[in-house]
Structure 1
């Protein structure tokens, strides 16, 4: 295993289509609440719109030789982005500034988990988000049933804030 990391541009996200769709399938397989909501979630409905609507994006991939085996996608977006027809993800009044940082998607192929790749992806994503001095509020949204992800983020200092959509998503926050 020869892992290296590469930042990709917004224009190059098509290389993540398969992994993003694997993430959606993985989340559905873990889900115990409203798993049918994942039926309409895919690269085209989740990643592309998010990348297009964000003010700034950070996409870091982990590669084993030339094969992408994991990625993290984080963004800076207007807090209003997180109040839409799907859900209101947090109390907008609780956010200090107009923009928030979000670790939006994070996935590592199963055979590469528990090898340190996740920590590298997470830490570099947090470094990027922290480089924006105006961003005080960071969020991570964990789908129900994904207990390993929840424990991972809590181990990195994020705290459970609340749940939305009857427990479909757990909202974690840096403060």
Structure 2
């Protein structure tokens, strides 16, 4: 089986420390990240996805990811880290809005994105720092997977649309 996504190089995970930097580390997913669909697909399944289905999966995943990222933001206490994280979340929110606009401009019906019940009730805090770190590990791993998949999805969509894509240039004359 081939994976659409390449795994994260070990050097990028070294800063997390043991056991997260172990290449064989595959912890169980916790409640928050179970709701996020996995970005990993077999190449043949990915190629057979239609544009609408591909965009809807991206939109659903980023909507759920943003909700989880908001919970992480509330847990941060370092002001500089929190500001950087909020800037990152704003970029992910912008990507989500762009995907939603693309869905609308292509004439696809806007999906109703009902979050899983446990995300609406609010999440109970993790009982330990390790479980919190484990939860954040999975969240960032899924986010990385979706960012890689989205790049591939949008490149495929661009090739399919060909001449229908318009480039807007906002530079003033």
TM-score range, shorter chain: under 0.3
Structure exhibiting the larger radius of gyration computed from Cα positions: 2
TM-score by length of 2: 0.26
Q: Decide which structure has greater strand share.
A: 1
The structure with higher relative contact order (CA 8 Å, sep 6+) is: 2
